[in-house]
Structure 1
Amino acid sequence: MTATHHPPDLFALSDVRGPVLRPGDDGYDAEVAAFNLAARHAPDVVVGATGTADVVTAMRWAAATGTPVAVQATGHGANFPLDGGLLINTARMTDVRIDVGARTATVGAGVKWRLLLEASVPHGLAALNGSSTDTGVVGHVLGGGLPLLGRAYGFASDLVRSFQVVTPDGTLHETDADHEPDLFWALRGGKGNVGVVTSLVTELVPLSRVVGGGIHCAGEHAEPLLRAYADWAPTVPAEMCTGFTLLRLPPLPIVPEPLRGRFLARIAVAWTGEAAEAEGLLAPLRAAAPVEFDTVADMDYRQVDDIYQDPREPIPARECCALLRELTPEAVDTLLGQAGPEAGRDYPLLMVELRHMGGRLADPARVEDAVCARDAAYLLESVGVLAGPEAAVAVEAATAALYAAMAPHGTGRTMVNLHGTPGDADDRARAWTPETHHRLRTLKSTYDPQNLLRHGHTVPLG
């Protein structure tokens, strides 16, 4: 499709049904706001897309004017601010259609997992969301998607059947395993390097309830709990999906009781089997250290936000992650030395977490994709709150020290969705194997030769 050339003004966006706003316009600040308050976007123009046609129009304008493009739905993935260019906000694109017989969902670019679960769970069907259902389906899947139930069902991208995507020349594509397979490959784990997804079709899993919650101990007992967890995790079935977390929570109203103002060590649990079997499996963890409170119980799958209790209000945050190949006694010693009780209650990272991987996450994709985390045993993730310049310096120093110390136990890679603020090209490349990164660069050059999609965690042209 040949783009029509227009002068670099907004008249070519007159067909957009949603708002088209410049700095200073009413509604501009709300339109560009991200969940991560550390990223304050300042695009030259923002398009509030109401559907696929608006995205096509916006991308054609960007291609004609050479304007760089960024995309935002929920703003959870905002890791550094956009300065200039065009921001396409897809938050209004919230159509959800459930095909109960086929066990699939068709979801728009702005759909949050919460909305999808509200539509699917009453039919006995669940989606492969992450630890928070406030995040967007499309952004999660584009990064591969590490689900809450990943050990039981695999990566979220494994269940995607097709995408509707607008490439940077303004062309609308329908892609699946048989139609433009290279494009389909890049959209499952390659993030937003080749186009703007307007909708996708994903399989759903037959599930409406889980055993979930958290086993919480005082932070002073982190060592015996983590050592027990490191011994226990490799022995459990794939249906047991867990994480170990060190939490240093501020005494603020946004933190729910009884977590508020506490330093805690927690085992988060999501189990897809029978409740009685879960009791036996979890017994060694409950015996490892004095339990302060235990919320593990049978629950409707729509309640899964109660398991990890991720922040539900926007905060200024610095996140980071690394994939680990092992959790040896030496790795446990290192983690505790960095972030355990001896680091003190003033340690600046709000959360340091290990997510148990393996299980179905280690299986090869049914259709080849760009996910490069199947060889990891654990994911190490951290979040620090940037509550001012001094706090930002402390968070950055603690983050750097933690990942440098844990590097000998890592695969050398990260997951793109949790990577945090992407640095130079070498840093961004750590989300993929060299072979996958090279292929992404080649496809980037094919579908985005102007490098319009260069904001966020992107690859350079090949």
Structure 2
Amino acid sequence: MSQSLAGRVSGPVYTPSDAGYAPECAGFNVLITHSPQFVVAAQSTQDVAETVRFARENQLAVSVLATGHGTYASITSGILISTKALNQVSIDVASRTATIGAGARWEPVVAEAAKHGLAPVAGSSTNVGVVGYLLGGGLGPLVRSHGISSDYVTGFTVVTSDGETLEASAEHHPDLFWGLRGGKSGFGIVTQVKVRLVELPSLYAGGLFFAEEHIEAALRGWVKWTAEADARVSTSVAVMRFPPFDFIPPPLRGRTVLNLRFAFPGSTEEGAKHAAPLRALAPIYLDMLGELPASQIARIHNDPDKPSPVWTSGMMLTHVDQDFASTVLRHVGAGVQTPFFMLELRHLGGPSQRDVEGGSAVGGRGANFVAGLVGMHPPLFETVLPGAEQGLRAELKPWLSPEMTINFMGRPRSAEQYDSAWPEATRTKLKEIRQKYDPQHFFASAK
């Protein structure tokens, strides 16, 4: 069967005994391993379309993998389409548009756009795959000044369940375009995306680090500051517990800190004025805030770029106040024993709460904050971290938003929890669009 499939695609087809099989199956979370019957290393949209047709003819399930950042369950059967080779990036300066293949990460997009004084409204990590991130909306480091990342998408190239290729945009298949901007999965396989770029030669951005003994003062001060924060300033805070490992930079090795991330798309002088109250919250351990080229935007969050074991979960919040800060400090404050490597709070608002013309399927626009939890120690993944997360969630009930956004959910515990990433009206419309473009549910929504 593999030879028959290989005769229909230009890219290699691997079986478990082939040397190229494991690299094509590899994702970012090293604890998630895949063992499908076949892996197709797609070289083109046509390869993806032919593979989908072959799978239908032979009644085989189809899965897709790019960077693997959003993968929470192992793929153990059928055909896995790897889009790693579809990593082309081109910039049209005149139209300020980037055309990006499904296997591309944000890093080359940021680098190429920066050569022209432009930037994509990307995520906090430039190591993350562009397409998977955009399908879920996207709350990046410029969320308050520029909004949700998928709002900048102008078109998708999609292979549907019958093996046909469609161009979805505001003008063509607008219902599919609506669903792909935030609806995540269950429509088809996206092989290319077009994204509108913004002018951004530089910004005032980076991070302030506060030592463990000043976590409470910094957190409470940030919570108070957000109530009157300038709408152009995007910030987040993360309480982080760094292990005493050699690969951790010496200033952070073995330390617990609060990292306050800051991004202002404007002049250094004005940015410094906005940052001054935050610098005054408490004694600063490390000051890494200043003028930053747009090409180095990943330095704001400094997310890891090497595959590793990881556990994540999240929740959205209606508001924060000092009682909220007290609750968080009981779980991750100075001297507290916690299984979490990081608890992060991102301030939302501004354009992120306004839907685009024509609408989109993005969930969580009404929330004002999003909380993310990260664990890094595998023995804690199955019971300890979920238990701690549920305990924290119960105490944060007064501040929890009824809304959620799929990219911050982590591994869904059930189909019902997965569906909770969208309000009822959006869920209903998404179901109708999936039924239209995939009536036999060939591309099951990720659960």
Contact 2:87–2:104 (CA under 8 A) maintained in structure 1: yes
Question: Which residue number in structure 1 is paired with residue 255 of structure 2?
Answer: 262
Query: Does 2:280 align with 1:290?
Result: no
What is aligned with 1:398?
388
Q: Which residue of 2 aligns with 1:385?
A: 376
Report the secondary structure of 1:420's partner residue: coil
> How far has the Cα of 1:9 moved from its partner?
6.0
* In structure 1, distance between residues paired with 2:237 and 2:162: 45
- Quickly say closer, same or farther: Cα 1:68–1:403, change in 2 above 3 A: farther
* Counterpart secondary structure, 2:291: strand
Question: Partners in 1 of 2:318 and 2:212 — Cα distance?
Answer: 25
1:432 to 407, 422, 427: 422
How do residues 68-79 of structure 1 correspond to structure 2 at under 5 angstroms? 68-79=61-72
Bigger shift: residues 392-401 or 151-160:
392-401
| Partners of 1:218 and 1:264 within 8 A in 2 | yes
**Please, what TM-score do these two structures have when normalized by structure 1?**
0.93
Report the Cα distance in structure 2 between the residues aligned to 1:253 and 1:365, rounded to whole angstroms. Answer: 46
* Contact 2:2/2:13 (<8 A) preserved: no
Per-residue CA distance 1:66-102 (angstroms, 9 max, x = gap):
3222211111111222221221111111111111111
RMSD: 1.6
Decide whether aligned partners of structure 1 residues 88 and 298 sit closer, same or farther in structure 2, where only a CA change above 3 A counts.
Answer: same
Change in CA separation of 1:437 and 1:279 when aligned onto 2, cut-off 3 Å: same
Q: Following superposition of structure 1 onto structure 2, how do residues 35-434 of structure 1 map, counting pairs within 5 Å? A: 35-344=28-337, 347-387=338-378, 389-390=379-380, 392-434=382-424
Partner Cα distance (1:407, 1:65) in 2: 48
CA deviations on 1:256-305 (whole Å, 9 max, x unpaired) are 34222210011111111211122222222222211101100111111122
**Any idea what SS the aligned residue of 1:220 has?**
helix
Give the Å deviation of 1:190. 0.4
Q: Runs of 5+ in structure 1 lacking a partner?
A: 1-7, 458-462
Render the CA deviation track for 1:206-230: whole Å, top value 9, x for unaligned. Answer: 0121111111111232111111111
Note if contact 1:385-1:395 (Cα within 8 Å) is conserved in structure 2.
no
Normalised TM-score (structure 2): 0.96
**Identity within the alignment, %:** 37
Structure 2 distance, partners of 1:375, 1:301, is 28
> Which is worse superposed, 417-426 or 191-200?
417-426
Amino acid at match of 1:369: S
How far apart are 1:174 and its partner, in Å? 0.7
Distance in 1 (alpha carbons) for counterparts of 2:170 and 2:183: 15
1:448 aligned to which of 416, 438, 442: 438
Q: CA deviation at 1:140?
A: 1.0
Return the offset for 1:175: 1.1
C-alpha separation in 2, matches of 1:77 and 1:390:
20
The 1-side partners of 2:250 and 2:241 are apart by 13
2:441 is paired with a residue of what secondary structure? Answer: coil
Distance 1:253 1:453, change over 3 A: farther
1:15-60 Cα shifts (integer Å, max 9, x gaps): 2122211222212111101101121112121111111111111111
Counterparts in 2 of 1:270 and 1:390: CA distance versus 1, 3 Å: closer
Contact 1:80 1:456 in 2 (8 A): no
The alignment covers a number of residue pairs equal to 447
Aligned-partner Cα distance in 2 for 1:216–1:119: 30
Q: Structure 2: where are the runs of 5+ without partners?
A: none
